[in-house]
Structure 1
Amino acid sequence: MREIFSEELKNLHVRFSEMGMLVNEAVYNSVKAFVNHDRELALEVIQNDEAINEREVDIEKRSFEMIALQQPVTSDLRRIVTIMKASSDLERMGDHAVSIAKSTIRVKGKTRVPEIEEDIANMADIVKQMVEAVLKAYVQKNDQQARKIAQQDQQVNAAFQTIYDKCIAEMQRDPQTVIGSTDYLLVGTYLERVGDYVTNICEWIVYLNTNKLIELNTNNQEKM
């Protein structure tokens, strides 16, 4: 019976990792589509979101079944809860990728500002590295690395502030860029939120190893 449970738990880990890779690809492609004005790639991101949603539902279903039927011990229950919570964060990250893709379609043909688009691309690179790193930290159960990754969110916030300041200045300088700059702000906000969700996953990794939920980047105050 224990061997069956261990195999199911291993399978759950694999499904979560695969979902993480899908989300990372969605975030990367959504920004690539936005910066390159690639409508087709944006539509692909939107269409592929269904697969991410299905993964999240499947993981949740399997998790509840394992809890109900296997009655796992505390340490195993903590692993299952971590996967459930973190997969929910991944699903929301996928939603933000879709929002970025929709912005690509919406601003098609509008006045663009290459300098701000470059800033958005650089911000996306930071976020992409965070997503890849947090998935690796999860697989390795490395809570120390998770704490370091969470600190990178400060870079994301700083990048968003730069984009925000430039967008406001650009809208004041040239009214024709108002629509495009508004979407730049939205895309920057979506990326900033993805960074927040990565931090959430970092917190779940710490919880997995320490049985303590703490708010990273907020003076490490314990939540429970």
Structure 2
Amino acid sequence: MDNSIIKQHISRQFNNEMEDIRNKVLTMGGLVEQQVDLATKAFMSYDIESAEKVIQQDQLVNALEKDIDHECTEIMAKRQPAAFDLRMLIATLKIITDLERIGDEAARIAKMTMRLEGADYYQDKYYEIEHLLELVRDMLNGSLDAYARTDTEEVIAITAQDSKVDREYTSIMRQLITQMMEDPRNITRALDMLWTARALERIGDHACNVCEQVIYMVKGKDVRHVSREELENMVKTER
């Protein structure tokens, strides 16, 4: 963590509480990263064991969200933090909501996998999704790293990936529509792919939301719903 940004408090207990929250957010982030990987692996190779693990981990993610939420609320009520500390707590409350929703998207993929017809039905048929997964995985990992390092410079590169994710999703969708038009027997397979691709695209959006909260936390600027040019200017402008 950047000690030039995160000040040390007179109360060692306060320091410990803030560090505990940060560590729990990163633990939660690590769990949802694993969920995304396992869910997509399960979908692509009909790995029911991985799908079940994703669903089990979702309960841990939900429990962490409630725990962190409670801890942030307690600190705000008892410590009455200001400046960076207050922004960190507010940003954290929003970040854990996005992380929980990422976990939900992964769980949806896992549950859909468990409803499919079996390994013989679609073995090696979902290769199109691999590049989209790679892009989304990089975005999620980068957004969590930016939070851990309080690094707003990294945010520019991460959010730039979102347009690539959108293009990849659009390309997949067009391919699937073509396949369905050419042969109605492709409809079930195409719809399965479409729902999974949509879930991954939403995960990329949530990763961008995490990045926006990192900027708010560090610079005190609300960059939601701004253009890319405005975002870059806000990141580069010193507070």
TM exceeds 0.5?
yes
CA distance in 2, matches of 1:218, 1:182: 32
Q: Which runs of 5+ in 1 are unaligned?
A: none
Cα displacement (A) at 1:180:
1.5
Contact 2:32 2:99 in 1 (8 A): yes
Q: Does 1:74 align with 2:97?
A: no
Contact 1:112 1:177 in 2 (8 A): no
Report the RMSD for the aligned CA atoms in angstroms: 1.8
Q: Which of residues 218, 221, 228 in structure 2 aligns to 1:209?
A: 218
Deviations 1:87-140 (A, max 9, x none): 11000000000011112122233854846x112122111111111111111111
Q: Does 1:121 align with 2:130?
A: yes
Q: Which of residues 70, 73, 78 in structure 2 aligns to 1:64?
A: 73
Q: Superposed, which structure 2 residues align to 1:126-141 within 5 Å?
A: 126-141=135-150
Tell me the equivalent position of 2:105.
Answer: 96
Contact 2:44 2:123 in 1 (8 A): no
Cα displacement (A) at 1:74:
2.1
Letter in structure 2 aligned against 1:193 = R
Q: Which runs of 5+ in 2 are unaligned?
A: 1-9, 232-239
Q: Does 1:147 align with 2:156?
A: yes
Contact 1:23 1:52 in 2 (8 A): yes
Q: Which of residues 169, 174, 179 in structure 1 aligns to 2:178?
A: 169
Q: Does 1:85 align with 2:99?
A: no
Cα displacement (A) at 1:216:
6.6
Q: Which of residues 215, 218, 221 in structure 1 aligns to 2:227?
A: 218
Contact 2:45 2:123 in 1 (8 A): no
Q: Which of residues 13, 37, 42 in structure 2 aligns to 1:4?
A: 13
CA distance in 1, matches of 2:128, 2:186: 16
Tell me the equivalent position of 1:50.
Answer: 59
CA distance in 1, matches of 2:41, 2:222: 35
Identity of aligned residues (%): 31
- Provide TM-score, normalisation by structure 1: 0.93
Tell me the equivalent position of 1:40.
Answer: 49
**Compared with structure 1, are the counterparts of its residues 98 and 4 closer, same or farther at alpha carbon in structure 2 (3 Å cutoff)?**
same
Q: Which of residues 4, 10, 15 in structure 1 aligns to 2:24?
A: 15
Cα displacement (A) at 1:171:
0.9
CA distance in 1, matches of 2:149, 2:225: 19
Letter in structure 2 aligned against 1:194 = I
